[in-house]
Structure 1
């Protein structure tokens, strides 16, 4: 039940279990607010339901209305420090739930006017949520990124040009060598991507291709592949070992496996009743 002056913030969809009930009693959300499970019916004192549809639940907490109403969110999304705090807390809650149950992460800053509105949204989408959770159960997200080293696309030191070589011709030769070097390393990146795709075809049930990262996230390296894979938990070790083995064949590249993560890349957009503020895109 909401406290006065608060909204209902929803982190994820999951299935209610006894283990999760016990864990949430010790976990907190944004602003150290206690977490709770919102089921389609308001009565959560009954024993844990025996069917997946009946046990469907939002993981939720109260947040101050003054900080999470539509106007406040538009302002806060310009505040990087505020965003970082909310994003980290949201992630921590989702990861904690993922360690104990199948979880469908929802978009950051998914809020409703109250628990009743949140339950309405859950009920309206319960068939879709249940189907999606069934697909995610016993699966975990892993990322694979391919980077080019900052010096990998630079040509080797040029030999001293013969005295008869004009400055213009020497420049063209240097440009040709640089182009050849870049083409060679990008070709290696394509081959590496094909090798990763072949490995994923044996282990992953789904893949999402994200745009390569740019700027401060990559440092001096160039990110040329940024994919996410949904891997069955009993194949995670084999998948990581196969990628590491393939990476050794591409010394001019850095191939990184990230995870395990809650399946953010394989979640769906959050349900949105008319009263749920939409964060700016």
Structure 2
């Protein structure tokens, strides 16, 4: 590889249409580079292209990327730029997002990969057409934030008890409250699944978030649904009401997003021919 030749960064596969090309005008991607459409010389009956920009090899060659992916500030900047490009295209047409930092040595290598995967991309785009991804998360609140029907710490009855007995009573109350909340969460999950199946065509289950990603609450459900555009608002409204009457449980519906969870990226080729670290 020529160390001075820019690499081809691929954000997504998308239909080669006038709307997609118009969406890329003045759009900037990773490292502030302009974004364009990389198409095939003979597009075929279902023309598919790569959404690309040029990036410097001293930032995105294989050896550098291994170190860069440990730099959270740099990684966040690349992820934001990547996501913005994908979402911009998604507002105009169906898009098939590729993994972060999918990089090819040059345009010819990228076209070779596009040619090899063209049929797969076209079939997947047809499956996703007219649909968006929505995220649905369920959270259980900490026991310290009791709902209106749950016992609270430090009740007036504790004043007549010894410190040890009062402590044990509070612990039992907290444990009981948490058990109630988890039962509510199970009921909410059943409601969500039943409601969502009326609106969505597919579901992907992601691992529950932990630690700082979940905040003070406990994330007990982290699903993605593929929802037709025409039913998006109805889906959101129905899911938002899924936890009514269930103390200590909160539902969060996000979207619409580009269908990251439902895209099947191409398998990476050899080193330097398209990498998805």
TM norm structure 2: 0.89
SS of the residue corresponding to residue 190 of structure 2 reads helix
Map of 1:46 onto structure 2: none
Question: Which has the higher mean CA deviation after the structures are superposed, 189-198 or 16-25?
Answer: 16-25
Cα 1:4/1:100, change in 2 over 3 Å = farther
**Equivalent residues of 2:109, 2:273 under 8 A apart:** no
Pick aligned residue for 1:262 from 258, 261, 266: 258
Unpaired runs of at least 5, structure 2: none
Q: 1:136-158, CA deviations, whole angstroms, 9 ceiling, x for partnerless residues?
A: 10100111111122235795335
Q: Which runs of 5+ in 1 are unaligned?
A: 44-48
Alignment CA distance shift 1:82-1:32 (3 Å)? same
CA shift in 2, pair 1:177/1:6, >3 Å = same
Equivalent positions of 1:6-21 (< 5 A) are 6-21=6-21
Does 1:219 find its partner at 2:244?
no
- Residue 135 of structure 2: aligned partner: 143
Superposed counterparts of 1:98-113, under 5 Å: 98-113=90-105
CA distance in 1, matches of 2:207, 2:7: 34
Task: Specify the alignment match of 2:108 in structure 1.
Answer: 116
Change over 3 Å in CA distance of 1:248–1:263 after alignment to 2 = same
CA distance in 2, matches of 1:72, 1:166: 60
Q: Indicate yes or no: 2:175 matched with 1:183.
A: no
C-alpha separation in 1, matches of 2:23 and 2:177: 54
The Cα offsets for residues 91-147 of structure 1, whole Å up to 9 and x where unpaired, read as: 000001101111000000000111111111111111111111111101001111111
User: Retained in 1: the 8 A contact 2:4–2:57?
Assistant: no
Give the CA RMSD over aligned residues: 2.4
- SS of the equivalent of 1:269 reads coil
1:66 aligns with 2:64: no
- The reply on whether 1:23 has 2:27 as its aligned counterpart is no
CA distance in 1, matches of 2:274, 2:152: 55
The alpha carbon displacement at 1:4 in A equals 5.1
Preserved CA contact (<8 Å) 2:133 2:257? yes
Partner of 1:88: 80
Deviation for aligned residue 1:260: 0.9
Report how far residue 272 of structure 1 moved.
1.3
**1:56 matched to 2:51:** no
Query: What per-residue deviation string (whole Å, max 9, x for no partner) do you get for residues 36-79 of structure 1?
Result: 212232x7xxxxx6832xx1111011100111000110111111
Residue matched to 1:204? 200
- Number of residue pairs matched? 269
Q: TM-score, normalised by structure 1?
A: 0.87
